[in-house]
A and B are shown apart, each in its own frame.
Chain A
Amino acid sequence: MAKNDIGSKRSPRRNPAAKLEEVMTGTTVFGIPFPKDLNALKNMSPIVIKHPYYVEYVHSYGQDSPFFAGLANKKLLGTTCGRCKYTYATPRMHCTKCGKETKWVELPQEGRVHTFTTCYFGSEEFLKETPFHLVLVEFDGVDTLMLARLIGVEGPGDIEIGMKIRAKFRRNSQLKPTDVYFVPAG
């Protein structure tokens, strides 16, 4: 507490709804109380234990792997169907319209915001990155969109549908779709 606050004239700030954040740490318990009378067991409080669950997968990107190799080399790759003339910004190796195998094409590195949001909360894995901005990107001559993060803005008020944005790449690839991200075009 700042020294000046003590004894100052400001009205007291008191929040009856104040609450400590719940944490997943606790005390190890060995002795569990137990009644002599078995009929009392139905009134017993439930026992709740902590159960960690951690898995490392050997996850393959399979046929989509070239997309990630592209990002590592500062190239944005999509796929296109020769028969339907339909181009996918998020790659798929078989055309959803006709089933034919698609081919890899390089996408433009400038696009527009099709829609957006700013996430102030998120999954546990990304909570530390909040607030972050998501955009669905549309590209000229490309039929589908691409999900990406937008940086270089502070809040939703700085983002507009239709605004031009430009792709940038992480120098040290993580082999994740976040290796590419977007910034407002100059």
Chain B
Amino acid sequence: MRPVYMVSGGVSKFEKARPDATFQKMVKEAFDYTMGDVPKLKPDMIDGSVGSYFSDHFTRQLMAGIMATDYLGLCPKPNKRVEGGGATGGLCFQAGWEAVASGRMDVCLAFGFETMSHVQTWKGNEFIALASDVNFDYPVGGFYSGYYAMMVNRHMHEFGTTVEQLAMVSVKNHMNAYNNPYAQKRKRLTIQDVRNSTMVAYPLTLLDICVMSDGAAACVLASEEMAFKLTDKPVRITGVGTGTDMMRMADRPHGDVILAPNEKKSDYKNLKYPGVHSFRAGRSAGLQAYKMAGITDPIREIDFVELHDAYTSSEIQTYEDLALCKYGEGGRFVEEGHPFMPQIDYGLKLKTKGTIPVNPSGGLIACGHPVGATGLMQAVFAFWQIQGTIKKHYGSPELQLKKANRGLIHSHAGTGTYVTVSILERGW
């Protein structure tokens, strides 16, 4: 395998509905932004592409991938669709990495999109719930927020996590998004606002849960030689990991914790793992990526994280999967302030801030979650953060971290069935 770099990225603004554009046009917007950011890159230098969208039901168009590809003018070059629920975008990013790492392509475009506004919210929830076992799970629950609510209730039972700790994630991510013009929801909130918001599935309220969006995102990945020809500031992808777990939560094992390099067996004497409180796929993906990138102490060796916070609860669970803290400490981790941005005032009394900023962009909760685009959006925001070009792309510097040499992106599907982790580092 050879080194792979990201040289450019672009995102269409995520919105509740984009009736003015078809999916091809939204992908084109993200693509044009991407191309505009590296003027030396010409379309004929792109060797091929990978496309991603989650749901044929939302799109109501099979083979939408080729339709976006032809709209971009990338025929007759290679293209394929990559799909894996909520992790679709993260899988697409890694498929682009594979194309370049293997030597098949020197320059590969990874693009993704979703058009979720074409049905009403509760029909959309039905489409999403079809990504649970339709024989045993869908007819009983049929609601992803309900599935995640069951997981966090068990997390609270095992570890004493509180609803206020969940709410702090919402306050943080909405506040970060306040300075991100790409975000769909830019709000100053209090813990009480989150708790007083409409209850969706106990204990998760409307403000604990991400929203549906229309949007697209694109990334250009390149070999070392091409990357330095195209830009002075390429970002190297130094680690990739993909984990999986059983579709039905009911089937998840209750065994031993898969230990991170900074953990020991005695840390988890009485913990049955992963049960339904933790995402084994997230741990597996994280450890693969850490090993490849040579990371042994993630909280000290990673500067920031963009993770899949479809629910505030899953952000807390993911701190633990990624070994930013031990299993069971995720609630305290946010309460103490570790994942908050050092330079932002959240209206909260925090013991510390900025140990490892998590979701500086605002994450899915505030930016929106057009599924096939989401994992790529995280890559684009992380890329700008590492390049130090947040001011250029957001129009204001508030969200630029002083130290952003190495970032982690994390994409997650249905109750933790597919999880991808990729490590991005300053490459110049």
Contacts and interface: CB of A to CB of B under 8 A. Distances in A.
A61 B154 contact: no
B109 interface: no
A46 B20 contact: yes
Interface in A132-150: 134-136, 143-149
A149 B154 contact: no
Interface string B115-150: 000001011011001000011110111110110011
B126 A123 contact: yes
A65 B125 CA distance: 27
A121 B200 contact: yes
A136 B249 contact: yes
A53 interface: yes
Nearest to B128: A123
Contacts of A135: 150
B153 interface: yes
B146 A122 contact: yes
B126 to A, nearest CB: 4
B250 A90 contact: yes
A88 B254 CA distance: 12
Contact of B154 (A51, A115, A125): A115
Interface string B87-131: 000000000000000000000000000000000101101100100
Given A96-B246, A136-B276, A121 B60 contact: no
Interface in B9-37: 19-20
A116 interface: yes
Contact of B122 (A120, A124, A146, A178): A124
B44 interface: no
Nearest to A115: B154
A121 B201 CA distance: 7
B135 A122 contact: no
A145 B60 CA distance: 35
A118 B122 contact: no
A66 interface: no
Given A90-B250, A161-B153, A118 B142 contact: no
B142 A116 contact: no
Interface string A80-113: 0000000011101000100000000000000000
A126 B248 contact: no
Interface of B: 19-20, 60, 120, 122-123, 125-126, 129, 134-137, 139-143, 145-146, 149-151, 153-154, 157, 198-203, 246, 248-254, 276
A89 B142 CA distance: 19
A148 B140 contact: yes
Contacts of A48: 19
B250 A147 contact: yes
Contact of B276 (A61, A114, A178): A114
A58 interface: no
A46 B19 contact: yes
Nearest to A144: B251
A147 B136 CA distance: 8
Nearest to B199: A120
Give 4 nearest A-B pairs by CB, closest first.
A123-B126, A117-B149, A115-B154, A145-B250
The winner among A48, A126, A176 for most chain B CB atoms within 10 A is: A126
Nearest to A64: B135
A161 B154 contact: yes
B251 A147 contact: no
A116 B248 contact: no
B139 A178 contact: yes
Nearest to A181: B140
Contact of B141 (A114, A120, A134): A134
A115 to B, nearest CB: 4
B249 A145 contact: yes
B251 A92 contact: yes
B142 A147 contact: no
Given A118-B202, A146-B250, A123 B135 contact: no
B19 A177 contact: no
A116 B153 contact: yes
A124 B128 CA distance: 11
Nearest to B249: A136
Contacts of B125: 121-124
Given A116-B150, A124-B122, 12 more contacts: A61-B135, A89-B250, A115-B153, A115-B154, A117-B202, A118-B202, A119-B201, A122-B143, A123-B125, A125-B142, A126-B142, A161-B157
